[in-house]
Structure formats: structure tokens, C-alpha cells
A and B are shown apart, each in its own frame.
Chain A
């Protein structure tokens, strides 16, 4: 099993590395705010474009020129060569969500009191603390890494095996999401093609490969072995959906195309995590 995972990891790496160069460039431009000072002068090109079309749009553009709002924008272009496959997987996940996972989650939501749901979530989150500890350290974020170590120590002991989160509640140390996907990005690995994973949903080649790293650092497979592991992670997901305030239903309701919405939201969300 481990061999198989390694082979997959190795096979996917070249694909993600190939996109490294453009990714690195993107992150650099994203991190450095354009040095325009207090004035928010739009780039010259932008100005010329606006001027060129002033005549047509003049009657409508009578109030403020809003081009000064534009400069900060960097739209994340998602590379999605496997869109047909991904949309198929998206359809599958949608059905799995509404016909299987959500009904079970709703039953659990009704059955279990909220403190129990939160306790279970904390428990699994605590078992995943080594993922955050290792990956923060690998990215040179030693402060965050130290925080995770403290959190793990405090929550495992005072928090009764991680069921409670006294590290946050009493000591004000917040959890910070760090994972192998972010570490790969930190070292310049590009996102690679967008990928919808069965049951887990939006991802990409880099973050998918990152999941394998996370698997090795996680304590969940150490505590739960073989069949118990699959029961445990299924339970964790169902419990998560019970706590979640029907986010996916909201997206389905609002978005013109939920697939595109999630694809972009995932990419923005990950980029934000990578940059912080």
C-alpha cells in the first residue's frame, strides 16, 4: 500500500514541477504590492485603455472613475485541462453528498449534542497536529510550529486526549492550517492541473500529492489501523458535515455554475493559506 502511494507521489511530481516557474512568478507579483504610493495611480497601460474608450462610455461614467480599485487584483487563473473528468467527479460527489453523506450527517446532527460534535472534531484535529507542526517547521515558520507543539501538549493533557481545546480557549493560541501541499508550494511547486477528488472534492495535483504527505505525518492512522482507519475518517467527515452550516447547499443555491464557483474559491482559499 505504501509503495503504491509513493509511486503515485513520484508520478505526479513532474507534472506539478512543470508549472513551477509560472507559479513562482505569480506568487512574487502577488506578494509585492505595486509601488504606487498614496495616489493609487493606475498603471499607464490601464489609463490609456480607459481614455481610449471614454467617448463611448462617457455618459455612463459621469461619476467617479473606479479604475483605481483595479490595480490590486490578481485573478487566479485555474489550469483545468481535465475539466470533463472533473465535472464528472463533481457530479458524483454531488450525488454522494445529497443521497448518502448529508442524510447521515443530518441524523448525526440530530442525535448528538453540539458539544459532542465539537469534541470529536477537536479530537481528530489534535491527532493531525503533527501535520501542522512538521509543515510549519519545513516552511521555516518556527513560531507557528512551536505554537502547534504547545497546542498538542496542552490539548492532549488538559484537553483530555484532544477532546477540548484549552490551548485556544484559555491560552489564546489559535490553530493555524499548515499542510504538505502548502510546504510544496513554499518550495515553488506549482498547483498543477485542478483535480476533483472523490468524496473530498476540490484539489489539484500538488495538494493531492500533499495529502499523501499529510497521511504520513498524521496520528489518525497510528491510532486507528486497517478497517478502523476508514471508519474513523468517515466518521470525521460525517461529523464535519454535521457541524458545517450547509455551505454546499448555499453554493448550489447561489452560483450560476457551482463547479466554477468551487474551482475558483478553492484556488483562492489555498493561495491565501500559502501566502500566510
Chain B
């Protein structure tokens, strides 16, 4: 009887904690956690470049929803592709996004990031960030949506330019001329090129 009471109590406490953590996680909290973690990794002088990239990759994969990004990039073409093609695309696309985003973040390693505000609308939100550098203030907005108890990034808007819209218009143009396979081949070639050139 006592054991049962204790268990109920524990379950109750556990539940309370989950609810609390759920309520406590705002879009800005989630984005800030990831951005801070990345800046921390970049500043860590004990890590070499390889380690940094690997750790950055883990943080990005936790926060970025590459599947949502892929779906939005392919837009209407998403429905026309097979599951296998989708998986292929996501695998390649996530590597390209990661590389591009890391390259941009790396340029701002020692800068201050401010969080001027967020706009929440239902399950979607925009987290505004401002990277303060000595020469300019760069607005970088993260578009996030709620999935479970987390806010996941589905687009990054830098100085008013949406990364995903940009990829979409470029990729659609390439697909028009070279087809889906042509696009995949180009993406693979770019990844090989990125891997072979030391940055």
C-alpha cells in the first residue's frame, strides 16, 4: 500500500516536472541554447577543426529539422518523388545546409548575439537574433515550429533573405533543366568538392 502510494507520488512529481519543462521552453530558449552551444564549441581552443565540426554537427542536427527543410525546398516536387529519393535528398541536403550554416556562423565566432524578440503564432514562431560585429549588425531570424516539447528550426532568414526560399528557387531551376537525378548529382559533386577543399 505504502509502496503504491510512493509510486503514485513519484509519478506525480515526474509528471509535474515534464509539464514544467514543457511550459518553460520558449522558441527563444531553444534557439539560444543551440546558438550558445555552437559559439561555445567554436571558441573552445582545445578542440581541433575536425572535432569542432563534429560537435557542431550534433548540435545542428538536434535543432534543425532537415526533413521539413527538404520538404519545403522541393515544394510541389516533394510529392512527386519516391520515398527512396526523398531519403537521398534529405541526406545530401542536410550536409549542404550544415556546411553553409557552419561557414556563416564561423565567420562570427567572437561576436555578440542579441535576442531582440520573438513572434509566436500557434505552432510557428520567428526568433529574431542580431549578431553584433564591429563593422555591422547582422539580423538572423530563425523560423521554428513546435514538435513535441521542442521548437525546431525550419528556415534561417539572414538580412531578409530566406535560405530555404533561396534553395527552392535555385533547385527548381536546376531541376527544370536537368531533372531530379541531375540535381542529386550536382549536390553530390558539391559535397565532394567541399570535402576535398580545406577551408
Contact = CB atoms under 8 A, between A and B. Distances in A.
Contacts of B183: 256
A254 B187 CA distance: 10
A66 B107 contact: no
B170 A260 contact: yes
A31 interface: no
B100 interface: yes
Contact of A66 (B71, B96, B160, B166): B71
Interface residues of B, number: 41
A80 to B, nearest CB: 10
B34 interface: no
> Which of B72, B154, B169, B190 has the most C-beta atoms of chain A within 10 angstroms of its own C-beta?
B169
B99 A265 contact: no
Contacts of B162: 268
A50 B190 CA distance: 32
Interface in B81-118: 83, 86, 96, 99-100, 103-104, 107
Contact of A78 (B103, B124, B161, B169): B169
B161 A265 contact: yes
Contacts of B147: 64
B86 A76 contact: no
Interface in A227-276: 243, 245-246, 250, 253-257, 260-261, 264-265, 268-269, 271-273
Chain B, interface SS category: helix
Nearest to A52: B79
B22 interface: no
A28 interface: no
Nearest to A168: B137
Nearest to B170: A260
Nearest to B138: A245
B134 A250 contact: no
B3 interface: no
Nearest to A40: B122
Contacts of B124: 40, 68-69, 72
A114 B136 CA distance: 13
Nearest to A39: B122
Contact of B134 (A72, A77, A118, A264): A118
Nearest to B79: A53
A254 to B, nearest CB: 4
Given A57-B83, A69-B68, A254-B103, A264 B166 contact: yes
A70 interface: yes
Contacts of B199: 253
22 contacts: A40-B121, A56-B79, A57-B79, A69-B68, A69-B124, A69-B145, A70-B72, A76-B165, A77-B169, A118-B134, A250-B103, A254-B103, A256-B171, A256-B186, A260-B174, A261-B170, A264-B170, A265-B166, A268-B161, A268-B162, A269-B161, A272-B161
8 smallest CB-CB distances across A and B, nearest first, come from A272-B160, A260-B170, A254-B100, A264-B169, A60-B83, A268-B161, A53-B79, A265-B161
Given A75-B168, A75-B169, A253-B103, 20 more contacts: A40-B122, A40-B123, A66-B72, A68-B123, A69-B145, A69-B154, A73-B165, A75-B75, A77-B169, A117-B135, A118-B134, A121-B135, A246-B107, A254-B100, A256-B174, A260-B169, A261-B170, A264-B165, A264-B169, A268-B162
